């Protein structure tokens, strides 16, 4: 069926599109740029990457029984360490809290400055920036790179390509390698990696992350933002008229005329804009969009076009910030001759700040008041109770004690609520006062069977309330759980 066949009524052939199903992505050659936003981006890049590479090597003393790495995800022992905070598996809701805070912070940043996350902090942006810097270092700036791509293969071209990809792979391997360091003692793992003694999983993960870093930052670049990332779509739903976005001030820029034409037009009393259509804003854009078309999906709001435009405006002695963080509404207001309005403090941003404060303080409260000892109980279900000799009934409980201190601790265990009950646990010792004593390793849990025996009749068939309490023999901290004692 020809692609151009047109609709011919019911039963006729369907109309097919005449355009291509697939198109080659146009390669973007971002040009070098300097200015305030570029400097800010370098500063953020250095801080972010610096933290990423250095943090695994920062030590944090937690005593002799626990790792001394500041940030460590200890998968074999199910522990997460972050400086003075240690998270156990049952406390992963702190991660949920962090994710909620992160999402809210993203919403807030979006309400204030649009996609500031995309432009400055996103790992894709940061690593792409780094890879572009390497590319520029080896192959030169925009024009040189376009020329090199078009040039036939030569020794010099091969040399440049090898150098570029070699450096990229080196950075990628470093990125993947450092990631693995967050999961094991960093100095030990580094030594083991180079002496080929590290576990296979470490090499596999470094390999995977080397590949993804090299491929995504070196080759995919803006395609990740355009086709893979959901954030541009979500952002479109979150933005509002007051959010500051990188905006081409159409009111000032149009109509676009060259410097000479503009001078002529102004002399003749005709309108002339400040934009000289030099295309510098497009040349420096890492996504390859034209900001003058307005806010769009491809724009990551990095502000590099502002730097480029400012440089041009300074050169031709016109006021800078023809492109600036602004709103479309203000562009319209200026067109109407009104004053621009900036509303960073508004209902939406106040709400986000309040919610962030509430969630943050809730988490902080939970964190600062959490206990260092723990107890949980599970009634033995099969059987619910056992008829023992001599008119006695026995219930079994599986107790799990937790000691979150980095030293061994002993707990005294008492059972209350059932009259005439005797308690027994093979995992426990007896204290001089008759209470049971359990001893736990540092930063560990212990499971123990507890048997409570009482005369038949001391428990209703529906169960009598019973409580178990542990008391830390060192500092008197207590934890209590309750359950039921069943009988016939």
Does residue 194 bind another protein (CB under 8 A)? no
Shortest Cβ 18–another protein spacing (Å): 6
Considering beta carbons, is residue 21 or 268 the nearer one to another protein? 21
Residue placing its CB nearer to another protein in the complex, 23 or 369: 23
- CA distances (Å), origin 416, targets 27, 306, 400, 469: 75, 72, 18, 8
Query: Does residue 17 interact with another protein by CB under 8 A?
Result: yes
Verify binding: residue 170, another protein, rule CB under 8 A.
Answer: no
Residue span binding another protein (CB under 8 A) among the ranges 115-123, 201-209, 386-394, 454-462 = 386-394
Q: Measured from the CB of residue 22, what is the shortest distance to another protein in angstroms? A: 5
Output 15 or 162, the one with its CB closest to another protein.
Answer: 15
Q: Which residues are 17's β-sheet partners? A: none
Give the rounded distance of the alpha carbon of 31 from its chain centre: 29
Shortest Cβ distance from residue 27 to another protein (Å)? 11
Residues 6+ apart with CB under 8 A from 460: 487
Q: Tokens 């068939």 — which residue? A: 461
Can you tell me the distance from the alpha carbon of 148 to that of 142, in angstroms, rounded to the nearest whole number? 10
Q: Name the phi and psi angles at 218, rounded to 5.
A: -90, -45
Toward another protein, which CB reaches closer, 69 or 395?
A: 395
Among 388, 430, 431, 460, binds another protein (CB under 8 A): 388
- Is 40 near another protein (CB under 8 A)? no
Residue 296 or residue 371: which is nearer to another protein going by CB?
296
Minimum CB distance to another protein, residue 101 (Å): 34
- State the nearest-atom distance from the C-beta of 414 to another protein, in Å: 19
233 binds another protein (CB under 8 A): no
1, 2, 11, 23: which one binds another protein (CB under 8 A): 23
Q: Which lies closer to another protein via its Cβ, residue 10 or residue 433?
A: 10
Please spell the DSSP secondary structure of 69-112, one letter per residue: BSEEEETTTTEEEETTEEE-GGGTHHHHHHHHHHHHHHHHHHHH
Nearer to another protein, 136 or 394 (CB): 394
Could you say which residues in the range 321-350 bind another protein, by CB under 8 A? none
Give the chain's radius of gyration (CA, Å): 33
Q: By CB under 8 A, tell whether 188 contacts another protein.
A: no
Q: Which stretch binds another protein (CB under 8 A): 16-24, 91-99, 334-342, 367-375?
A: 16-24
**Four-point Cα dihedral 341, 347, 352, 357, nearest 10:** 110
Q: What gap in Å lies between CA 377 and CA 470, rounded to an integer?
A: 12
Work out whether 382 is an interface residue with another protein (CB under 8 A).
yes
Q: Is 21 exposed, middle or buried (0-12, 13-18, 19+ CB in 10 A)?
A: exposed
How far CA 319 is from CA of 18, 323, 338, in Å, comes to 46, 11, 19
- Exactly one of 227, 263, 457, 465 binds another protein (CB under 8 A); that residue is 227
Cβ 368 to another protein shortest distance, Å: 33
Shortest spacing between CB 423 and another protein, in angstroms: 12
Positions 427 through 466 that interact with another protein (CB under 8 A): 427, 439, 446-447, 449, 451
| CB-CB contact of 469 with 416 (8 Å) | yes
Interface with another protein includes 10 (CB under 8 A)?
no
d(CA 295, CA 247): 7
Decide: is 389 part of the binding site for another protein (CB under 8 A): yes
For Cα atoms 376, 381, 384, give the angle at the middle one, nearest 5 degrees: 115
* Under rule CB under 8 A, residue 230 binds another protein: no
Q: Is residue 46 part of the contact set for another protein (CB under 8 A)?
A: no
Total length of the chain: 488
Q: Does 7 bind another protein (CB under 8 A)?
A: yes
Q: Which residues pair with 82 in a beta bridge?
A: 71, 85
Size of the site for another protein (CB under 8 A): 35
CA distances from residue 330 to 226, 250, 333, 334 in whole angstroms, order as listed: 27, 10, 5, 6
Backbone angles phi, psi at 82, to 5 degrees: -140, 100
Residues at the interface with another protein (CB under 8 A): 6-7, 14-25, 220, 223, 227, 380-383, 386-389, 394, 396, 424, 426-427, 439, 446-447, 449, 451
């Amino acid at each position: 069926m020809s692609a151009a066949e047109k609709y011919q009524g019911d039963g006729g052939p369907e109309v097919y599109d005449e355009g291509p199903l697939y198109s080659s992505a146009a390669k973007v050659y971002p040009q070098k740029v300097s200015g305030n936003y570029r400097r800010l981006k370098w500063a953020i890049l250095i801080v972010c990457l610096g933290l990423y590479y250095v943090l695994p090597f920062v030590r944090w003393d937690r005593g002799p029984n626990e790792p001394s790495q500041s940030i460590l995800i200890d998968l074999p022992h199910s522990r997460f360490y972050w400086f003075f905070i240690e998270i156990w598996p049952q406390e992963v809701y702190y991660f949920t809290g962090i994710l909620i805070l992160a999402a809210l912070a993203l919403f807030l940043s979006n309400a204030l400055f649009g996609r500031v996350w995309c432009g400055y902090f996103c790992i894709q942006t940061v690593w792409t920036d780094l890879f572009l810097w390497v590319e520029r270092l080896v192959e030169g700036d925009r024009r040189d790179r376009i020329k090199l791509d078009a040039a036939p293969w030569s020794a010099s071209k091969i040399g440049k390509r090898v150098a570029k990809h070699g450096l990229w792979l080196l950075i990628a391997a470093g990125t993947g390698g450092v990631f693995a360091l967050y999961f094991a003692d960093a100095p030990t793992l580094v030594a083991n990696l180079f002496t080929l003694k590290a576990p296979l999983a470490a090499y596999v993960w470094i390999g995977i992350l080397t590949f993804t870093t090299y491929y995504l930052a070196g080759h995919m670049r803006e395609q990740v933002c355009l086709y893979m990332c959901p954030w541009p779509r979500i952002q479109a739903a979150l933005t509002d008229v007051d959010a500051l976005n990188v905006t081409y001030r159409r009111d000032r820029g149009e109509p676009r005329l060259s410097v000479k034409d503009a001078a002529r037009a102004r002399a003749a009393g005709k309108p002339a804009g400040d934009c000289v259509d030099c295309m510098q804003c497009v040349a420096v854009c890492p996504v390859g969009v034209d900001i003058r078309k307005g806010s769009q999906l491809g724009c990551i709001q990095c502000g590099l076009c502002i730097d480029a435009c400012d440089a041009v405006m300074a050169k031709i002695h016109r006021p800078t910030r023809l492109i600036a963080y602004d709103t479309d509404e203000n562009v319209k207001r200026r067109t109407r001759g009104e004053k621009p309005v900036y509303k960073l403090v508004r209902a939406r941003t106040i709400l986000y700040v309040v919610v962030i404060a509430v969630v943050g303080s809730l988490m902080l409260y939970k964190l600062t008041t959490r206990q260092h000892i723990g107890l949980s109980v599970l009634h033995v279900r099969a059987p619910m109770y056992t008829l023992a000799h001599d008119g006695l009934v026995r219930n079994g409980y599986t107790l799990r004690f937790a000691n979150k201190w980095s030293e061994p601790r002993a707990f005294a265990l008492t059972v209350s609520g059932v009259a005439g009950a005797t308690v027994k646990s093979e995992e426990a010792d007896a204290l001089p006062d008759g209470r049971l004593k359990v001893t736990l390793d540092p930063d560990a849990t212990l499971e123990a069977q507890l048997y409570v025996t009482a005369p038949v009749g001391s428990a209703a068939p529906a169960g009598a309330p019973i409580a178990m309490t542990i008391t830390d023999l060192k500092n008197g901290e207590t934890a209590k759980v309750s359950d039921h004692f069943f009988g016939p």
